[in-house]
Chain A
Amino acid sequence: MTLIDLANPTRFLALTARVLPWLAAATVILLAIGLYQSAYAPDDYQQGATVKIMFIHVPNAWLSMFVWGVMSIASLGTLVWRHPLADVAAKAAAPIGASFTFLALLTGSLWGRPMWGTYWEWDARLTSVLILFLMYLGLMALWRAVDDPSRAARAAAVLTLVGAINLPIIKFSVDWWNTLHQPASVMRMGGSALDKSFLIPLLVMAIAFTLLFVTLHLAAMRNEILRRRVRSLQMMQASRIAFSSDVAAGSRQENASKEVGAA
Chain B
Amino acid sequence: MTALAALIRRDIRIALRVGGGALIGVLFFLTVVVLMPFAVGPDLALLSRLGPAILWLGALLASLLTLDRLFMADHEDGSLDLITMSRTPLELACAAKALAHWLAAGLPLIVATPVLGLLLNLDMVATGAVALTLLAGTPALTFTGMIGAALAVTLHRGGLLMAVLVLPLSIPVLIFGVAASQAVIVGPMTFGAPFSILCALSLVSLVIGPFAAAASLRHGLD
Contact = CB atoms under 8 A, between A and B. Distances in A.
Given A138-B165, A158-B219, A174-B175, A145 B155 contact: yes
B208 A162 contact: yes
B161 A142 contact: yes
Interface in B164-205: 164-165, 168-169, 171-172, 175-176, 179, 187, 189, 197, 201, 204
A141 B168 CA distance: 14
Contacts of B219: 79, 154-155, 157-158
Given A151-B220, A161-B212, A165-B208, A146 B168 contact: no
A246 to B, nearest CB: 25
14 contacts: A131-B171, A135-B168, A137-B164, A139-B165, A142-B151, A142-B155, A155-B220, A157-B219, A159-B165, A166-B172, A173-B175, A173-B176, A173-B197, A180-B179
Interface of B: 144, 147, 150-151, 154-155, 157, 161, 164-165, 168-169, 171-172, 175-176, 179, 187, 189, 197, 201, 204, 208, 212, 215-216, 219-220
A162 B212 contact: yes
Contact of B157 (A145, A170, A176): A145
A141 B155 CA distance: 12
A169 interface: yes
A137 B176 CA distance: 25
B100 to A, nearest CB: 22
Contacts of B220: 151, 154-155
B147 A158 contact: yes
Interface of A: 79, 131, 134-135, 137-139, 141-142, 145-146, 151-152, 154-155, 157-159, 161-163, 165-166, 169-170, 172-174, 176-177, 180
Contact of B171 (A137, A146, A174): A174
Nearest to A148: B155
Contacts of A142: 151, 155, 161, 165
Contacts of B187: 180
Contact of A138 (B154, B164, B176, B216): B164
Contacts of B155: 142, 145-146, 151-152, 155
Nearest to A163: B169
A139 B179 CA distance: 29
Given A145-B155, A145-B157, A165-B208, A173 B171 contact: yes
A162 B147 contact: yes
A143 to B, nearest CB: 11
Nearest to A146: B155
B177 to A, nearest CB: 11
A80 to B, nearest CB: 10
B75 to A, nearest CB: 14
A142 B162 CA distance: 9
Contact of B179 (A134, A135, A177): A177
Contacts of A135: 168
A152 B204 CA distance: 26
Given A138-B164, A174-B171, A159 B147 contact: yes
A159 B189 CA distance: 34
Contacts of A177: 175, 179
Contacts of B216: 154-155, 158
Contact of B172 (A134, A151, A163, A170): A170
Nearest to A177: B175
A106 B27 CA distance: 41
Contacts of A169: 172, 201, 204
A146 B179 CA distance: 38
Nearest to B194: A176
B215 A176 contact: no
Contacts of A170: 168-169, 171-172
